């Protein structure tokens, strides 16, 4: 059974179907929507579910911190695969009511409404918030348009009025597939047997590094260990520990698999320095490249200054 | 005029009032709710507003990435102060309708409903989503309970049925106060004149560092420059640049002010190495300590291993 953050018809549900569809014979697995990330973790940890699926990172909002914290906090659950989805909204109407003149309201989760403002404005619709996009589709009235993933049309028997109605195309969300820590090696076996992993960019690993001592030099020491071994960090997130003020856990996503020599050597060096470590997940890089690289919204640090700039420009940029 | 991310009655509005109240003579400034972070930035950049207020970090959700990206992308707007608020919800009813037997529904933004599930369940209420907590309070019906910041009661003339009805107490959000880059020095003058800044922990600075070259060693080099000068990073966020694949901008919050010698020396060294820099903000540390330190939710990396652990434990933790 595959547990996921529901309700049915969410983008997470779409990620589950995508992941199942890509695996031979995987189509038979039951799929169970749950209400919270915690419940998905608990279902996986207890063995009630073989796999769990939750969103971990969005190109618009960055890391999904509750999902990240759950992975950091869980002793028994680990990520063994990832799914990257384009986040695109379709506009649905009830069957037989696609006549635009009778449509007066647009309904979706407030986030969905916020992402489809142009469509709403152009058609002069009144926005009506729903508890989820899926709920908006399920409970759709004759005078309403609902926004949701493509899946919702099929799930709730709706007609598609328009596709790709989001204001800005190109948003993506990354989902992780969770399993019990003790089952991880078996979960990876098919990809390893298929030869996935010949290049060091073929896998990515998420690891939580909790340094023993804190202070100005701690991140410099940890990053130096990566640099010395040529292990590339593709992302680094820092989360403070509540229990110990000014102490942090660093969640690093690195290029490589935990069993590869340069990664093993890195882990051994960090352990040798007294750091506490936990691998949170490892997964083959999806076709098309790692994670959300290259699809994130543009946020060039406009107004940045360089050493070669004149003094006044530098002073304005640095406010020193 | 102070522009803020509205509508009226949001936690951001509460942050505006808190900030204004703490400043002598600040109470006369007009306050203008705007619909998006972008509009708040534009109002400040154009001079239509003297100050702008947006949320930048939450103890539950981490950085508010759209606010962070706006600050990174804006050449003309900088953060000059911060406000840290406890995020606590009160339950409101319409005046004269506090008789619990007639209350059948609970209304709020879906996030607000998600944070007050226990209250909803204990009273057997039906959750009804609203586009914002403030809208829920404004449009409250006789048979409904709305959840929102304390401010909403006063703003919409509601009775308070109960206070602090969130499931988990202790959540906080950090807001930044924005002004035009060219006005920053004047904005800091009162705090500097008052002697705020005698200790290196008295100010914090947010700086965007965009390294010229990328690769495994880049973060190690940048963090080493901080460590050599004993400049403490209190947070580090990495955001990929869309325009240049695999290139990143690091947003670092450091202890110190841009004009302090060790920080100037650090910035000069990074410029000397060819990095592009921009100060995104600087602000006096609020009484009670910096930012959200010590109030974040607990997410100890349970299941982490140490070098002294036995081989089987290490292998389970690292999956190598």
* B180 closest CA partner among B23, B50, B284: B50
Give residue-wise pLDDT tens across range B9-31.
989 999 999 999 887 665 678 99
Question: Which one is predicted more confidently, A78 or B190?
Answer: A78
> How many whole angstroms separate alpha carbon A106 and alpha carbon A115?
12
Give residue-wise pLDDT tens across range A154-180.
999 999 999 999 988 888 899 999 999
Q: What is the pLDDT of residue A103?
A: 93
- A195-203 mean pLDDT: 67
Question: Any idea which of A71-75, A211-215, A255-259 has the lowest mean pLDDT?
Answer: A211-215
- B212-241 mean pLDDT: 84
Question: Which residues of chain B are within 8 Å of residue A220 when distances are taken between CB atoms?
Answer: 220, 223-224, 226-227
Average pLDDT over chain B reads 87
Q: What is the pLDDT of residue B297?
A: 46
Q: What is the pLDDT of residue A69?
A: 86
Residue B296 has pLDDT above 50, yes or no: no
Give residue-wise pLDDT tens across range A77-88.
999 999 999 899
Question: Which residues of chain B are within 8 Å of residue A240 when distances are taken between CB atoms?
Answer: 292-294, 296
Q: What is the pLDDT of residue B289?
A: 61
> How many whole angstroms separate alpha carbon A79 and alpha carbon A128?
36
Question: Any idea which of A35-49, A139-153, B233-247, B277-291 has the lowest mean pLDDT?
Answer: B233-247
Give residue-wise pLDDT tens across range A224-257.
999 999 998 888 888 766 544 556 788 999 999 9
Burial class (CB in 10 A: 0-12, 13-18, 19+), B113: buried
Q: What is the pLDDT of residue B196?
A: 63
Q: What is the pLDDT of residue A235?
A: 84
- A287-297 mean pLDDT: 57
Q: What is the pLDDT of residue A296?
A: 46
- A15-22 mean pLDDT: 92
Q: What is the pLDDT of residue A288?
A: 61
Give residue-wise pLDDT tens across range A22-39.
876 656 789 999 988 999
Closest residue on chain B to A261 (Cα): B320
pLDDT interval class at B290 (50, 70, 90): low
Distance from CA of B75 to the nearest CA of A (A): 4
Across-strand partners of B53?
B4, B177
Q: What is the pLDDT of residue A178?
A: 98
Distance from CA of B143 to the nearest CA of A (A): 19
How high is the ipTM of this complex? 0.76
Tokens 């799929």: give the residue: A31
* Cross-chain residue pair A258–B65, CB shorter than 8 Å: no
pTM, 2 dp: 0.82
Question: Which residues of chain B are within 8 Å of residue A109 when distances are taken between CB atoms?
Answer: 110, 129
Give residue-wise pLDDT tens across range B60-110.
778 888 899 889 988 899 999 999 998 999 999 999 775 777 899 999 988
Closest residue on chain B to A35 (Cα): B114
Cβ distance A58 to A66 under 8 Å? Answer: no
pLDDT interval class at A297 (50, 70, 90): very low
Question: Which residues of chain A are within 8 Å of residue B307 when distances are taken between CB atoms?
Answer: 271-272, 274
* Cross-chain residue pair B318–A237, CB shorter than 8 Å: no
> How many whole angstroms separate alpha carbon A112 and alpha carbon A90?
10
Residue A290 has pLDDT above 70, yes or no: no
Output the CA–CA distances (angstroms, integers) from residue B293 to A48, B181, B298, in the order listed. Answer: 37, 27, 12
* Cross-chain residue pair B293–A246, CB shorter than 8 Å: yes
- A183-189 mean pLDDT: 93
Across-strand partners of A96?
none
Residue A199 has pLDDT above 90, yes or no: no
* Cross-chain residue pair B61–A60, CB shorter than 8 Å: no
Angle between helices B218-228 and A218-228 (to 10 degrees): 150
pLDDT interval class at A71 (50, 70, 90): very high
Question: Which residues of chain A are within 8 Å of residue B306 when distances are taken between CB atoms?
Answer: 271, 274, 276-277
- B221-249 mean pLDDT: 80
């Amino acid at each position: 059974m595959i547990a996921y953050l529901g309700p049915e018809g969410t983008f997470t549900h779409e990620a589950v179907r995508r992941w199942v569809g890509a695996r031979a014979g995987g189509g038979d697995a039951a799929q169970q929507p749950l209400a919270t990330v915690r419940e998905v973790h608990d279902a996986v940890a207890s063995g009630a579910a073989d796999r769990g699926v939750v969103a971990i990172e969005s190109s618009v909002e960055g890391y999904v911190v509750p999902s990240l914290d759950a992975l950091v906090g869980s002793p028994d659950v680990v990520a063994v695969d990832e799914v990257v989805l384009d986040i695109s909204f379709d506009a649905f109407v009830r069957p037989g009511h696609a006549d635009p003149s009778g449509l007066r309201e647009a309904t979706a989760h407030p986030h969905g409404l916020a992402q489809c403002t142009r469509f709403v404005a152009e058609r002069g619709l009144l926005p009506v918030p729903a508890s989820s996009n899926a709920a908006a589709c399920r409970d759709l009235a004759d005078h309403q348009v609902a926004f949701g993933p493509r899946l919702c049309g099929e799930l709730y028997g709706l007609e598609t009025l328009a596709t790709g109605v989001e204001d800005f195309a190109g948003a993506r969300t990354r989902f992780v597939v969770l399993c019990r820590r003790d089952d991880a090696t078996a979960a990876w076996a098919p990809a390893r047997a298929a030869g996935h992993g010949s290049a060091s960019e073929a896998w990515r690993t998420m690891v939580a590094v909790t340094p023993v001592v804190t202070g100005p030099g701690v991140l410099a020491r940890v990053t130096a260990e990566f640099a010395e071994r040529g292990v590339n960090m593709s992302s680094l997130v820092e989360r403070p520990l509540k229990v110990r003020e000014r102490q942090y856990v660093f969640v690093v996503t690195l290029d490589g698999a935990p069993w590869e020599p340069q990664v093993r050597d890195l882990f051994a060096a960090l352990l040798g320095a007294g750091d506490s470590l936990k691998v949170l997940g490892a997964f083959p890089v999806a076709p098309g490249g790692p994670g959300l690289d290259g699809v994130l919204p543009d946020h060039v640090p406009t107004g940045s200054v360089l050493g070669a700039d004149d003094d006044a420009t530098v002073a304005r940029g640095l406010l020193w």
